[in-house]
Amino acid sequence: MKQLLEAYFIMGTQDCPTNDPLAVLEQALEGGITLFQFREKGPKALSGLQKEQFAKKCQQLCRSFNVPFIVNDDIQLALRIDADGVHVGQDDMASDEVRRLLGPEKIIGVSAHSNDEVLEAIAQQANYVGMGPIYQTTSKADADAPAGTTMIEEARRAFPDIPIVAIGGITIPRSEQPIAAGADGVSVISAIAQASSPKRAAEQLKEAVQRAKAKRDQ
């Protein structure tokens, strides 16, 4: 699981105002992203049948590259299309209930902001936690205030084995700090979705993360 978190791309149509989102995803996959989260949210996001049809197209692309396809929050959509997993926040369905619905083989990620929330996620059978926002972000309107990497350092000391992915305002130059703090990978939206070359951005992100991990683990 830790390796799957290295270059974690999150995207919906709302994140690609000037680019074809399917083309962006395909390029990101060609560039080596390791996990994809389908997050179709916001005032301009697709809904209903359009959302499901777009999700299936994204899922098909991910399958062709053998990259897991995770759905943000929408448990029913994940069940209908047999997604590889779900990511939920603190205000969404509890992860143990998600596990009951999805079964033992699916990936479940949980947003966590403290050691108490990480402990709860572990108790509720989550496969990984997403911690952030690390930096200021414009991709999520209701994001908490940025907390830096301190929460990751604290969680890694307390829970050395739980897979952790950092999220929130992470750019390629900023990707090394969360890894140095103990994260297993970083998740990005704009850094790839709005890059002039999503493929090159994905390549650079993965290279930066692997370089930082090698330096940290020396």
Question: Is 211 assigned a catalytic role?
Answer: no
Residue partners of 20: CB distance under 8 A and separation at least 6: none
CA–CA gap between residue 99 and residue 84 (Å, rounded): 12
From 41, 106, 111, 199, active-site residue: 111
Question: Is 39 assigned a catalytic role?
Answer: yes
CA–CA gap between residue 184 and residue 92 (Å, rounded): 24
CA–CA gap between residue 94 and residue 211 (Å, rounded): 35
Residue partners of 82: CB distance under 8 A and separation at least 6: none
From 56, 99, 140, 174, active-site residue: 140
Ordered alpha helix ranges (H), 44-149:
48-64, 75-81, 95-102, 115-123
Strand 7-11 and strand 69-72: pairing? Answer: unpaired
Angle (nearest 5°) at CA 87 between 86 and 89:
140
Question: Is 140 assigned a catalytic role?
Answer: yes
From 39, 156, 199, 213, active-site residue: 39
Measured CA distances, 2 to 94, 190, 213, 215 (Å): 22, 22, 11, 17
Active site residues: 39, 111, 140
